[in-house]
Copies of this chain bind each other. A is one copy, B any other.
C-alpha cells in the first residue's frame, strides 16, 4: 500500500458566509487534505502542530479515517492556530478577519520514522522553510513531491519559496498567484515559467472555473462541477490537493494521463467539500456518492467528435 505524508496546518476556523456563520470548527490545510485522501486505499500521516485546546473528538475523527497522527505535535499549554474569515456574496472572495498563529509560530516539523519512506509527500500551505525541512528529513527522494502555496509567502518569503520550488514535482497554485509568481497574465506562459523554476507539472486552480494541469506542451482542464448551491468554499483547494495526491499514492503512476485522472478526482472531492460548512461534508462522504459524482464529471466533459 502506498504511503502519503501530509504536511500543513491543523486549525480552528470560524467562517461567515451569506448562508450563516460558525463558531470555531475543525479546519486547516492538512485536515482537509487528510480527509480527502482517506477516500483512497493508502496509508497516510499528518505532520503538524496543535495546542492543548484541540479537542480529542477531532483527533478521534482523523484517527478513524486511518490517518497516522504520530507526527501531530500537541503543545502543552499552547493554543491551536486560528483563522477566521468572511466570504463576500459571490463566495469568490473573502476577507480574513483574524489570524492567530499561536503554536504554529514555533513549529518545527518532525517526520515520523515510518513515513520517512513515503511515496508521495503533500506539502500543504505553510512557510516554505517548514516545507523544505520536511523534504530534508526524508530517507530517500519520494516518488512525488507536491507543493501548495499562496501569495502570502510570495510577499514575505520569496527566496525560501523559490528554493523549495526547485525540489518539487508538482505545484498547485491559484490563477492570481501564478500570475504574481511569474509576472505573466497568460496562464499558459505562467505555467511555462513555473516549470523552469523546478516543478515538472503545474496545476493552476481557478476555483469555480476549474483547474488546469500543465506539463511541457501538454495541457488538461477539469471544470468545477456546476452546483446549485455553494455553501462554504473553505478547504476546497486543500480537498482538491488531497484527492489529487490520494489518488496518485493509490495508483502509483506519475504519467501525464494519470495526473489527469488525479485532477478529476481532486475536483470531484472538492465539489463535495463546498456543500457544507468546514469539514462537515467530507466527514460523512461515502464511496457511492463519490462514484456517482465521477459519472457526472464524465457526462459534464466527455464528447465524441469525428474529424473530417
Contact = CB atoms under 8 A, between A and B. Distances in A.
Interface of A: 89-90, 185-189, 206, 209-210, 212, 218-221, 223, 226-230, 257, 260-261, 264-265, 287, 291, 294-295, 297-305, 307-308
Contacts of A301: 220-221, 301-303
Majority-rule SS of A interface residues? mixed
B303 A228 contact: no
Contacts of A257: 303-304
Contacts of A300: 219-221
Oligomeric state, in copies: 2
Contact of A228 (B189, B210, B212): B189
A220 B188 contact: no
Contact of A221 (B226, B227, B287): B226
Most B-side CB within 10 Å, residue of A187, A229, A261, A305: A305
A250 to B, nearest CB: 10
Contacts of A294: 305, 307
A189 B228 CA distance: 6
A261 to B, nearest CB: 5
B305 A228 contact: no
Contact of A299 (B188, B218, B295): B218
Nearest to A41: B308
B186 A227 contact: yes
A226 B209 CA distance: 13
Contact of A260 (B186, B218, B260, B303): B303
